[in-house]
Structure 1
Amino acid sequence: MDQPTSRGSAGPAPFRLAVARSALELFAEQGFDATSVDQIAAAAGISRSTFFRQFGSKEDVVFADHTALLDQARELLARPHDDPWLAVCEAAGLVFDHFAADDGLAELRYAVVNAHPALRDKELVTVFRYEKLFEAHLRYTLPALDPLESVRFAAAVIATHNYLLREFMRGARPVTRAQMRDALDDVRRLFGVFGGPAEPSPDGRQEDVVVAVFPRSAARSEVMAAVQRMLDTPP
């Protein structure tokens, strides 16, 4: 029997995720191309017409939660924030939290997507939507920012998030929310926009301040490497 559905911003509807799980289980067992919409509908206990009203295609059901997740991320970024850079990282963390909440479904999705080139292509398009959302947020909240910096930061956040999420999804190693947060904090440090307090040294003293001067033409990688060498040099 068909069940009522909702597309509210509170999160992906349980009904939609249940249908997605049924589809992914069939895709993993039979293969994506060999699985029909009628089989998915039967396994999920819905009609064929309901399936197409909700998802549109077999490809869409694989990424059923991303529409809602993008809406959640957009709503989070629309709130007032003291730190737009941190807000972008929090939006990325929201996506990780969703997938980490049901690692069985996440691993199943990873296996299905990586077995089918068309799904990998669709995944790239979905990832790009998050990247454009993050970039647009920075450009709107920081109008004086060089647009290239917003592109770079959004891309770095997405790349860091996706690397750790894939590690989690394929079961390569456990990845916690705290590890994701620390990795995204490192991205903010890399871009010089980490606004947290200075950390004291192990003996309780405040760390020394390192001041470096570089020509404006110096490449970012050269600056970062030089600063890292200075930080690694004993006082």
Structure 2
Amino acid sequence: MSDTATSSPSRTAVANTVAAAAIELFAEQGFDQTSVEQIAQAAGVSRSTFFRQFGGKDDVVFADHEQLLAELREYLDKPHRNPWEAVCEASVLVFRHFAADPELARRRYVVVRQVPALRDREIVTVFRYERLFDEYLRRAIPDLDPLDAVGFSALVTAVHNHVLRQLLRGPRRVPVTVLRRALDDAMIRFGVHPDAATPRDDDIAIAVFPRRMPSAEVARRLRERLGGYPHS
């Protein structure tokens, strides 16, 4: 591991500390009423350190999303046997991040709801996840109809946000199994669940696929069974 890689966790820890302090202040006294100086003081860093880490107050609210998007790009760049499952697992990784500190996630949710500029930024951020999934599916399944790629990406993103809002809007715990069940249902509805039409015989295979399954996914599964799967 390089020196850069070994030093990144400390930078991430500082960024997380500053972000947590900022969200706490925003929740207590309001976004517009909170200054960068107050955030820096609460986090125990200098004003210059704040600006090295973030471009402004709105950036600090969404700082962990930048980190998550980078982690998901790295994850999706690895080979995956089933691209559809990989997208769902990426969604799970994001959910686990927020579920690890639900109180902080809830405070940020309240802050974002109160500030129109932050709500607009949130919409753009959600679209970045959707676009990341869309671009990955198109790379992983080259013959995939673009409508199928964007449709599944939008479905996974919507399902994820629906379950995440259950966590953010109330005090109750929402286990990751709730999201996994919802994502399984999404794959079934889209006709790409890994258990659909799995051949059981090595010599003779009669393949039956759901009519709604994208043709590129049918071809991908046939290639996988007949001659392995491509590493994408």
After TM superposition, the score normalised by the length of structure 2 is 0.79
- What are the superposed Cα offsets for residues 81-132 of structure 1, whole Å, 9 maximum, x if unpaired? 1100000000111000000001111111111111111111111111111111
The residue aligned with 1:112 is 111
Structure 2 counterpart of 1:103, which letter? P
2:172 & 2:42 partners in 1: Cα distance? 32
SS, match of residue 144 in structure 1: coil
Structure 2 counterpart of 1:192, which letter? G
Give, in angstroms, the shift of residue 45 of structure 1.
1.0
Q: 1:11 touches 1:68 (CA, 8 Å); kept in 2?
A: no
Give, in angstroms, the shift of residue 14 of structure 1.
2.2
Aligned length: 198
The yes-or-no answer on 1:95 pairing with 2:94 is yes
Q: CA RMSD in A?
A: 2.4
Inter-CA distance 12–85: structure 2 relative to 1 (3 Å threshold): farther
The residue aligned with 1:150 is 149
1:11 & 1:181 partners in 2: Cα distance? 32
Inter-CA distance 81–178: structure 2 relative to 1 (3 Å threshold): same
1:213 & 1:21 partners in 2: Cα distance? 48
Structure 2 counterpart of 1:63, which letter? F
Q: 1:11 touches 1:69 (CA, 8 Å); kept in 2?
A: no
Structure 2 counterpart of 1:125, which letter? V
Give, in angstroms, the shift of residue 172 of structure 1.
6.2
Inter-CA distance 213–178: structure 2 relative to 1 (3 Å threshold): closer
The residue aligned with 1:35 is 34
Structure 2 matches for 1:17-28, cutoff 5 A? 17-28=16-27
SS, match of residue 35 in structure 1: coil
Give, in angstroms, the shift of residue 163 of structure 1.
1.1
Give, in angstroms, the shift of residue 169 of structure 1.
1.3
Question: Comparing both structures, which one devotes a greater share of its residues to helix?
Answer: 2
1:7 & 1:71 partners in 2: Cα distance? 16
Inter-CA distance 101–7: structure 2 relative to 1 (3 Å threshold): farther
1:189 & 1:160 partners in 2: Cα distance? 13
Inter-CA distance 211–19: structure 2 relative to 1 (3 Å threshold): closer
Structure 2 counterpart of 1:101, which letter? A
Q: 1:156 touches 1:187 (CA, 8 Å); kept in 2?
A: yes
1:184 & 1:15 partners in 2: Cα distance? 34
2:57 & 2:147 partners in 1: Cα distance? 36
Identical amino acids, percent of aligned pairs: 57
Inter-CA distance 148–213: structure 2 relative to 1 (3 Å threshold): closer
The residue aligned with 1:179 is 178
The residue aligned with 2:52 is 53
Q: Structure with the greater relative contact order (CA < 8 A, sep ≥ 6): 1 or 2?
A: 2
SS, match of residue 156 in structure 1: helix
The yes-or-no answer on 1:159 pairing with 2:158 is yes
2:211 & 2:37 partners in 1: Cα distance? 66
2:166 & 2:62 partners in 1: Cα distance? 18
Unpaired runs of 5+ residues, structure 1, are: 1-5, 199-209, 215-235
Unpaired runs of 5+ residues, structure 2, are: 1-5, 198-207, 213-232
Q: 1:20 touches 1:62 (CA, 8 Å); kept in 2?
A: yes
SS, match of residue 81 in structure 1: coil
Q: 1:12 touches 1:69 (CA, 8 Å); kept in 2?
A: no
